[in-house]
Structure 1
Amino acid sequence: MFRSRRTATAQPAGAPAGRTVGSTAPSGVPTAAELARRSRRRRVSRAVRRVLHRIRRLFTSYISPLGWAVAVSGIAALAAFLPLGWHELLAYGVVAMTMTLAAVIMSLGNTSFKATIGLPRRRVTVGDTVAVRVDIANPGRTPTANARGDLPIGEMHERFSIPMLAPGQSKQTDVEFRTLSRAVLSIGPLRIRKGDPFGLVRHEKRLADKLDLFIHPATVPLKTLNAGLARDLEGQPSGDIVDDDLDFYGLREYEPGDDVRNVHWLSTAKTGTLMIRQYEATRRTDTALTVSVNPEEYASAGEFELAVSIHASIGVRCLMQDRPLSTHAGDAHATPRHAMDFLDACSMITPDHDDNPNLVEGTLTHDPDASFYFLTVGSLRELDSIKRMALALPKSASTLVLQASEGAPRAIRRFPDFTLATVGELDDLPLIMGVLA
């Protein structure tokens, strides 16, 4: 603590004892001058710390380990040349220091760029072409130096040159690529790099954050899925007109063989003709959609992708019909409401060796009362294993097992507890679902 100074002065008569004339601060309280000195010291201390931080950052961020090795070894060689007189040390020291100096000069320049990354579409399908737009501008008042742009695209890096930009000038670079596989692809962050070709000095700056590109699996359009439990009070109208159900549709004239219990007597009395009630078939449509993600169940990576495409195609059709849907893929369990959200989730499906081989265990935990169960499995799944899974499902529900077997002929086999469909290629799915609808 600082102590306030006291000044011994004469006190006029009548002044209170113990008080100093002209003093406004009591004992132990810093004066205004002392507070000002403290403030100046704090400002100086902060400025020194900032300078030291920038110097430390300069030496640790801009100079690479190789640059430090070349510079230190060059200085050591020159220092050793003086007592030893070896011209080899002199030559190495001169070359090393020349390279270091050239690297520093080449890394200098204004790199105050401003950049943005743009994607015309954030959601695409496997096989589509994606165009990434990179806009780089110079918002400053001085020209910028040449630099290199580095744009990560997944595990790849797209590198391009950035020319000198005058104040207010901008440059647009388009990076195009074709999507080859389903994934959630990270694009960015965009960085600029400036330095020497030897890698001794580097200057790197982050300009734009990353974007996520959803690459959806390939899908095929399916016709209306009417499979479910008929005559369910909580079901939805299916569009099929029947003579006996819960949802009244209209009247028609009597035909031989019609059940007389369906005669609408009031209309018959008015028209003089026997009139029969007609109903629109209602079906409960709670659907559980499960896909196996264990790679040991599939003969190839292409077969795994076929299974995901089957899973996605059926899910999209269910959501387009407004059927309540729950999806299961490994540890991911969801109840999507929109087809786009469901396809985004399909883009994230990855193989998992630890996936539970009993697919219905997780499905029944989250969805025990569905009216229809779709199970998508690989070609290496044995028939006995499929039968055991189907036995665990509710007897009141319908079960369809779709076995992805790349290149195999399409086939449908009916068993007492389930139906097994073999899908050799994605275009087989509409034909199979059309037969089973």
Structure 2
Amino acid sequence: MRGEAMVDRHRTRQERDEGHAVRRRRRIRRMFRRLHRRAVRLANAYVSPLGWLAAAVAVVCALVFVASGWLGFLAVALAIAAMLLAAIVMTLGNTGFDATIGASRNRVTVGDMVAVNVDVTNPGSTPTTRARGDLPVGGMHERFTIPMLAPGQSKSTNVEFTALGRTVLAVGPLRIRKGDPFGLIRHEKELAERLTVFIHPRTVRLSTLNAGVARDLEGQPSGQIVDDDLDFHGLRAYVPGDDMRHVHWLSTAKTGTLMIRQYEATKRTDTSMTFDVNPDDYADAAEFELAMSVHASIGVQCLLQDRPLATHAGDRHAMPRAAIGFLDWCSAVEPVMDDDPNLARGTLEYSPDASFYYFTVGSLKSLDHIKRIVLTLPRSATCVVLQTVPGAERGIRRFANFTLATVGELDDLPILMGVLA
């Protein structure tokens, strides 16, 4: 029995030692895998694909020379090796920069100038080497030279451009590059955070929009004084023909003159605005942008009047509370080729109880298609379809269920909305 116990203890110790050995081997394998990944990342960070190709060609030429003795292959291998060595030497140097990016304005309108300032500083105690700065601005790249900077010295670079089109523009991050002119070896790192510049569509100021469902408990005062509504305003003297139900008898008894109640008209103005994002409904990109300017102008006026607003464009839906947020939303709207042609479907899903519906469509949207869209809207609501037709005369056509306004240019919109309001 004692011998069996000793055997069991020996077996247990052996198993424990084997377990330790397995765990050590696993730790060593993990360590080598991490070192390998770091080495690969480091090599890829400094050696470009062209550099790897050049190194492979040099190795192949050297092997062919060893096998065949042809001096031409040796010359090619030595030339490439010399180029790689020179590239490595040219990449060396201190590139410990700090950088900040700032824009003159983060929100601009199409046609405005935007100035981006890039400050590069040497925070270290040793001078830096020359390097190249690469600043992505949307789909473009602004490249400039960063000179040698003494400790604590900084270099400012201004990049100015005109906001040519509505978009959400990403500026940065700044990339610092140091390398050879052949593109074989390079040292690259990113500095500063990305900056976002919203380029808003052009808009025009509109008159007060008063349209809505009259005499609504949840409505807003319109400023219009009427004889019958829910929001009491004041009293006036009786005029022949006034409804006797509106006589204020207490004031009449005090003054001895018939006094009539007056009210401020209240209208429920929950507004839904839908923008057609299908590029096939527009003659060209310029018309698409004109339609977006129409859409944005009406939405801004609604928000300036504190009217509840829901806006829709394809599969993007929002209920903005401020004009700036709404314009930011408009900046990000892009054409969608396969958008649902029935604009009312998505609109009613998100705003089924609006009192006013605006649809902004292009010149290629047929009238029959527009009529089919409007048929699904609530009968109690008012619907206006704004159709952009660049160069056409402004006009208004009234149908049974909606009003169609033709917008030839953006400056037509205040006149049209003055009639529609």
Normalized against structure 2, the TM-score is what?
Answer: 0.89
Structure 2 gaps of 5+ residues are 1-12, 14-26
Deviation at 1:384, TM superposition (A): 1.2
Change (3 A) 1:375 1:49: closer
Q: Tell me the amino acid that sits aligned with residue 383 of structure 1.
A: L
Residue-by-residue CA offset, 1:375-423 (whole Å, 9 max, x unaligned): 1111111111111222221111111111111221110001111110001
Q: Secondary structure at the match of 1:226?
A: coil
Contact 1:291 1:308 in 2 (8 A): yes
Q: Paired residue for 1:371, among 352, 355, 361?
A: 355
Q: Does 1:261 align with 2:261?
A: no
Provide the residue aligned with 2:364 in structure 1: 380
2:18 paired residue number: none
Cross-structure match for 1:346? 330
Query: Identity of paired residues, percent?
Result: 66
- Structure 2 counterpart of 1:323, which letter? R
- Which residue, 85, 94, 114 being the options, matches 2:78? 94
Q: Secondary structure at the match of 2:328?
A: helix
Match of 1:291 among 260, 267, 275: 275
Q: 1:149 aligns to what?
A: 133
Shift, 1:51, TM fit: 7.0
Residue type matched to 1:104 in 2? I
CA distance in structure 2 between the aligned counterparts of 1:352 and 1:81, rounded to whole angstroms:
59
- 1:7-406 superposed matches below 5 A: 55-78=39-62, 80-81=64-65, 84=68, 86-406=70-390
Partners of 2:196 and 2:341 in 1: how far apart? 31
Q: Deviations over 1:241-282 (max 9, x none)?
A: 111111111112223433333222322222233322211111
- Return the letter of the residue paired with 1:133: N
Q: Which amino acid aligns with 1:405?
A: V
> Aligned AA for 1:333?
H
Matched, 1:412 2:396: yes
Answering whether residue 409 of structure 2 is matched by residue 425 of structure 1, we say yes
What's the CA shift for 1:312? 1.1
After superposition, what is the alpha-carbon deviation per residue over 1:326-345, rounded to whole angstroms, capped at 9, x for unaligned? Answer: 11111112211111111111
Residue 56 and residue 301 in structure 1: after superposition, are their counterparts in 2 closer, same or farther (change >3 A)?
closer
Q: Comparing 176-185 with 251-260, which one deviates more in the overlay?
A: 251-260
Aligned-pair distance for 1:240? 0.4
Q: Structure 2: how far apart are the matches of 1:110 and 1:155? A: 30
**d(CA) in 2 for partners of 1:107 and 1:141?**
20
Larger radius of gyration: 1
Give the drift of 1:78: 4.9
Bigger Cα displacement from structure 2, 86-95 vs 224-233 = 86-95
Q: In structure 2, give the amino acid aligned to 1:343.
A: L
* Secondary structure, counterpart of 2:44 in structure 1: helix
- The Cα of 1:92 is off from its aligned counterpart by 2.6
Partner residue of 1:16?
A: none
Q: Pairwise CA RMSD of aligned residues?
A: 2.5
Which digits, 9 at most, give the CA deviation of each residue in 1:98-140, with x for residues without a partner? 2112111111101111111112322211111111111111111
Structure 1 equivalent of residue 8 of structure 2:
none
Q: 1: CA distance between counterparts of 2:221 and 2:302?
A: 14
Count how many residue pairs are aligned between Structure 1 and Structure 2.
Answer: 401
> Counterpart amino acid of 1:231?
R
CA distance in structure 1 between the partners assigned to 2:133 and 2:274 by the alignment: 43
Q: CA deviation digits over 1:339-384, x for unaligned, max 9?
A: 1111111111111122111111111122121111111111111111
Q: Deviations over 1:192-223 (max 9, x none)?
A: 11100111111111112212221111111111
More helix by share: 2
* Corresponding letter in the other structure for 1:324: P
Separation (CA, whole Å) in 1 of partners of 2:38 and 2:230: 79
Distance in 2 separating the partners of 1:76 and 1:175: 46
Matched position secondary structure for 1:302 = helix
Return the alpha-carbon distance in structure 2 between the equivalents of residues 366 and 80 of structure 1: 71
CA distance in 1, matches of 2:50, 2:185: 9
Q: Which letter maps to 2:321?
A: R
Give structure 1 stretches of 5+ with no counterpart. 1-27, 29-42
**TM-score, scaled relative to structure 1:** 0.85
SS at match of 2:410: coil
Distance 1:397 1:58, change over 3 A: closer
